[in-house]
């Protein structure tokens, strides 16, 4: 089963999605499963993992509702307040839904670069294992050293790095991103999504060759067993269409074995998030 490991849905409003600036006017509208379904089918994907874009419990509930309607949503990475004393109660609110597979916090937007080392945040991370949930790391390169400390502190907690930690692809900069990226990859409880790359490149002039050095490092550091393809749709469409974005990784995989390709194109995602090989949109 092939899966898009990272995409978003929203009902757009300027108040709730203030991060969508004037340069990204193309995504200032609603994006729903009916819009994504034909794009997935055209690329041979059975479904996708829907990831939070707002830090509200209401959005988490809404995403799960989209999934319960059946169809393309195979898992939801939602948000709860990991720093809250009531984090366990918040998780219990969603834990009964088998589509609830993980949690994400928008760490890249926090004023403190070492946010993930806060004691209250780490208390929240510790609770995730009680519910069998994963955690998505949304970071910039400057956050990677702190992420290494976090992941080391929780060796039994499954983590996945979103968007390769957003290296500066536009300027072809590899260091210190590559050094810290490799340090994180050396910890075997963390995985990585091959997603979000086009928004870190020159939106209008990139070629697939621009991404190769970063993909080379990702495959060297993580290997196909811990890498998963993701589109970051609809955010990616500020640069190119869905097929072109997915094609970056698909074309890179041309020289790999069929077994390795299938891992990156879906099997790793399914294993990490606990998505069964055959599903009608709800995990049995």
Which residues have CB under 8 Å from 13's CB, separation 6+?
none
**Torsions phi, psi of 161, nearest 5?**
-90, 120
Q: Which portions of the chain are predicted below pLDDT 50?
A: 279-284
**Closest among 256, 246, 247 to 223, alpha carbons compared:** 256
Angstrom distances, CA of residue 188 to CA of 102, 106, 148, 262: 18, 23, 11, 20
Q: Name the nearest CA neighbour of 165 among 187, 192, 198, 146.
A: 192
The pLDDT of residue 283 is 39
- Can you tell me the distance from the alpha carbon of 57 to that of 62, in angstroms, rounded to the nearest whole number? 9
Beta-carbon contacts of 8 under 8 Å, excluding residues fewer than 6 positions away, are 31, 50, 51, 52, 53, 232, 233, 234, 235
- DSSP E strand boundaries for 90-154: 100-105, 134-137
d(CA 112, CA 51): 23
Question: What one-character DSSP code corresponds to residue 111?
Answer: S
What is the distance in angstroms between the CA of the first residue and the CA of the last residue of the chain? 16
All domains of the chain in start order, with CATH: 3-273 (3.20.20.140)
Calculate the CA dihedral of residues 69, 74, 76, 77 and round it to 10 degrees: -170
Which residues make Cβ contacts (< 8 Å) with residue 121, sequence separation at least 6?
A: 82, 83, 105, 115
Residue 46 has a pLDDT of 97
Q: Looking at residue 278, what is its pLDDT? A: 63
Q: Which ranges of the chain would DSSP assign to H, the alpha helix? A: 33-43, 57-68, 87-95, 119-128, 144-153, 177-185, 212-222, 242-252, 258-262, 268-273
Pairing of strands 227-229, 47-51: unpaired
Determine the Cα–Cα distance for residues 159 and 144; give it in Å rounded to an integer: 13
pLDDT tens string 161-220: 999 999 999 999 999 999 999 999 999 999 999 999 999 999 999 999 999 999 999 999
Cis peptide before 176 (omega within 30 of 0): yes
Paired strand residues for 105: 137
Q: Is 210 helix (H, G, I), strand (E, B) or coil?
A: helix
Nearest alpha carbon to residue 266 among 275, 255, 257, 253: 275
Supply the pLDDT for residue 282.
41
């Amino acid at each position: 089963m092939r899966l898009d490991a990272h995409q978003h849905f929203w009902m757009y409003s300027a108040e709730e999605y203030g991060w969508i600036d004037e340069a990204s006017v193309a995504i200032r509208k609603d994006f729903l499963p009916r819009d994504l379904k034909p794009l997935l089918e055209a690329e041979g994907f059975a479904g996708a993992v829907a990831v939070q874009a707002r830090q509200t419990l209401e959005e988490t509930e809404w995403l799960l509702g989209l999934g319960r309607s059946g169809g393309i949503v195979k898992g939801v990475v939602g948000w709860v307040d990991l720093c809250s004393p009531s984090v366990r109660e918040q998780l219990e609110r969603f834990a009964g839904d088998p589509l609830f597979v993980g949690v994400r916090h928008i760490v890249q937007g926090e004023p403190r670069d070492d946010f993930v080392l806060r004691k209250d945040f780490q208390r929240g991370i510790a609770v995730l294992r009680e519910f069998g949930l994963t955690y998505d790391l949304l970071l910039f390169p400057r956050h990677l050293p702190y992420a290494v400390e976090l992941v080391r502190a929780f060796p039994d907690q499954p983590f996945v790095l979103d968007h390769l930690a957003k290296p500066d692809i536009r300027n072809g900069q590899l260091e210190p991103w590559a050094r810290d990226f490799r340090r994180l990859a050396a910890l075997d409880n963390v995985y990585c999504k091959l997603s979000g790359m086009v928004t870190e490149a020159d939106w209008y002039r990139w070629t697939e060759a621009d991404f190769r050095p970063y993909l080379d490092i990702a495959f060297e550091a993580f290997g196909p067993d811990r890498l998963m393809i993701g589109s970051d749709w609809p955010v990616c469409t500020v640069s190119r269409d869905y097929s072109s974005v997915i094609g970056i990784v698909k074309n890179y995989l041309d020289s790999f074995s069929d077994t390795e390709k299938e891992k990156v194109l879906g099997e790793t995602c399914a294993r990490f998030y606990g998505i069964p090989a055959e599903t009608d949109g709800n995990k049995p």
